[in-house]
A and B are shown apart, each in its own frame.
Chain A
Amino acid sequence: MKSAKKVQKNYPVYKAESIAGKKAGDIADRKSGRSAGLWAITCSLFTVLALVSCGPSGGGDSGKKLPIMGFREAVTTVIDGKEVTDTVYHQIPEFEFLNQDSILVSNEFFENSVYVANFFFTHCPSICPTMQRNLLAVYQEYLDDNRVKFLSHSIDFKYDSPSVLKNYADRLGVVNDQWQFVTGSKAEIYGMAEQYMVYAQEEAAAPGGYEHSGYFVLIDQNRHIRGAYDGTSKEQIEILRKDLKILLQEH
């Protein structure tokens, strides 16, 4: 289909440091970023002029749509002799991790659902209890609704073995496989955190030995990032609830 491919230009929508640092908050606040602002202005203009819809994926002029976050680039391909330029969005790469039942779980498990991902560790004394309490409430709202899944990555690759994760999940009140708790090598998990734009680092001075940010990252069926929410903030959880409903309407 694609006879020739040439990367025309890179458009880093968010500055590079947003990816690594705790600045995921800037991403969560879609009104704060310059590019997000521009996007919003463009959208309003389009709406006012009653042209085609403002959503990046087109279609649907009634309901609100969530933005697609992260790096994007315009890729020009030549199809049937014509140059076609399309936007390629940041996508969570394929993955495979060991879960709380000592079974390998991959991106295929999440294929037909949207999911909320976060990073935590079982004996984390700082933000995790509040984060997991808040995520548990959302999990319970969608219990047995397989359109929504949950994925908690442990950043304590030394201690959080599958059996530790299993005990934690059971005691937290997780009763089915809709919420996966996974472990992997340090490189795998920390590399994945970067893909989700969540900060995670081993840090001896931090409570519990790890420093990380408590973002819930909303992922769609195409493994695109559609939202990031501070998992310790009740207000942000309310936004996640609303955004989840919006995202589910897309499918």
Chain B
Amino acid sequence: MSKVPVLILLAATYLLIVTCQGCQGGLDIKTAQYYTNGHQLYSTHCANCHGDKGEGLGLLYPPLTDSGYLTENRSALPGIVQHGMSGEITVSGEKYNMEMPANPQLSVVEIAYILTYVTNSFGNKSGVFSEEEVLENLPDYLTPSQIPSHSKLEKSAF
């Protein structure tokens, strides 16, 4: 008699676990896709200053290993990637004050890829950074074709 509820409970737990893993599996695939694409873009656009391992460069360019900073400033990240940044910031207890250049050539999905890569590498782990989340935090987003041509020169060869 008393074993029936236990069995039901076990079955329910099993179902719950299977369902959850199903959801997470889907999320993981998306994260993995974004992460892989982000890795490529990171090497092209970010690693120059922030380093292959997100280690930064001395006290010139901040590391990307400070999970606390990334979490606290998550909503500002899309804007930083697109518009660059200036002024003093504190990362991992050190002060940095070098201007970060803008990356106006990056599309919304490319910013999502990069941020997924950064927030899930170098000891950070915070799941996918979706295009929706990027757009939510870029109210003044301009598509690359809307950007005045002179600011596209950032990408020109050296």
A residues apposed to B, CB below 8 Å:
123, 125-127, 129-130, 132-133, 136, 168, 170-173, 205-207, 211-212, 214
Contact = CB atoms under 8 A, between A and B. Distances in A.
Contacts, number: 47
Given A129-B48, A133-B57, A207-B154, 16 more contacts: A125-B154, A129-B60, A129-B61, A136-B57, A136-B58, A168-B60, A171-B59, A172-B58, A172-B60, A173-B58, A206-B158, A207-B101, A207-B153, A207-B156, A211-B158, A214-B158
20 contacts: A123-B98, A125-B48, A125-B49, A125-B101, A126-B48, A127-B158, A129-B48, A130-B47, A130-B48, A132-B57, A133-B51, A171-B58, A171-B60, A171-B98, A172-B58, A205-B156, A207-B101, A207-B153, A211-B158, A212-B158
Nearest to A127: B158
B99 interface: yes
| B49, B58, B153 — most chain A CB neighbours (10 Å) | B58
| A123, A168, A171, A206 — most chain B CB neighbours (10 Å) | A171
Interface residues of B, number: 16
Nearest to B61: A129
A137 to B, nearest CB: 11
B57 A172 contact: yes
Contacts of B59: 170-173
Interface string B45-69: 0011101000001111100000000
Contacts of B99: 123
A170 B59 CA distance: 8
B141 to A, nearest CB: 22
A133 B55 CA distance: 11
A129 B49 contact: yes
Contacts of A123: 98-99
A172 B49 CA distance: 12
A204 B48 CA distance: 21
A170 B57 CA distance: 12
5 A-B pairs with least C-beta separation: A171-B59, A126-B158, A173-B58, A125-B101, A129-B49
A207 B156 CA distance: 7
B114 to A, nearest CB: 16
